[in-house]
Chain A
Amino acid sequence: MGQILITIGEWSIAFLVLFGAVLSVLSTFGLIRLPDVYLRSHAATKTATLGILCVLFAAFLYFILYEGHVSAKLLLGIVFVFITAPVASHLIDRSAYFSGVPMWEKSVQDDLKIAMNQGKHHEELHEPAE
Chain B
Amino acid sequence: MNNGDVILQTSTKIILFIIITFSAYLFFAGHHNPGGGFIGGLMSASALVLLALAFDLKTVRKVIPVNYRVLTALGLLLAVLTGVGSFVFDVPFLSHTFGYFDLPLLGKTELATAVLFDLGVYLAVVGVTMTIILSIGEDT
Q: Which residues of A contact B (CB under 8 A)?
A: 73, 76, 79-80, 83-84, 87, 90-91, 94
B-side contacts of A83, CB under 8 Å: 11, 14-15
Q: With A90-B7, A94-B5 given, can you name 12 additional A-B contacts, CB distance below 8 Å?
A: A76-B18, A76-B22, A79-B18, A80-B15, A83-B11, A84-B11, A84-B15, A87-B8, A87-B11, A90-B8, A91-B5, A91-B8
Report B-chain residues with C-beta under 8 Å of the C-beta of A73: 22
Q: Is the interface of B mostly helix, strand, loop or mixed?
A: helix
- 9 A-B pairs with CB atoms under 8 Å apart are A73-B22, A76-B22, A80-B15, A80-B18, A83-B11, A83-B14, A84-B15, A91-B8, A94-B5
Cα A90 to Cα B8 with chains together (Å): 9
Contacts of A94 in B (CB 8 A): 5
For the complex, what is the distance from the CA of A76 to the CA of B23, rounded to whole Å? 13
Residues on A with C-beta less than 8 A from B5 are 91, 94
| CA A109 to CA B36, docked complex, whole Å | 51
Considering the chains assembled together, what is the distance between the CA atoms of A91 and B12 in angstroms?
Answer: 13
